[in-house]
Amino acid sequence: MKKIFTSVLLGLVLLVVPITALAGAKGPDVDNLTTRGWECISVGGEPHCFDPGDAKSRNGATVNVLVFDEEGQFEGTEILWLAGKAPEKISERPCPQDALLDLGFAYACHHYGH
């Protein structure tokens, strides 16, 4: 359990560093992210931006996502644990704001500022 917590904490720290570097006074911006090589796609009308460095991650088990509302305002982060690579008891993993969402191909946990 301690190892999982440490891995998640490390993942969050690694996510915060690039976000801080890319964030302006108002937070990250979709246009700025795409200019820097991030892939941003619309999911339910909301832009979700994927760090190009995640493809080169340690084990490829997680993907960090920046989520924006329909107007392009930064909402927060989402961590995806890819199915087949997620820890065995992923369904028991705590998620701070809402239940862990099973997307079929991954499990999602939102970390929004509101």
The CB-based long-range contact list for 63-69 (8 Å cut-off, 24+ gap) reads 63/106, 64/11, 64/14, 64/15, 66/19, 66/28, 66/33, 66/38, 67/110, 67/112, 68/28, 68/30
pLDDT, tens digit, for every residue of 24-81? 556 789 999 999 999 999 988 999 998 887 655 555 678 889 999 999 999 999 888 8
Domain count within the chain: 1
Find the mean pLDDT for residues 3-14: 44
In 3D space, the residue among 89, 78, 85 whose CA is nearest the CA of residue 113 turns out to be 78
pLDDT number for residue 102: 82
Find the mean pLDDT for residues 2-23: 47
More confident of the two residues 60 and 14: 60
Show the domain range for 104. 2-112
pLDDT number for residue 40: 94
Neighbours of 47 (CB within 10 A): 21
Q: pLDDT-derived band of residue 10, with 50, 70 and 90 as boundaries?
A: very low
pLDDT number for residue 114: 58
pLDDT number for residue 49: 94
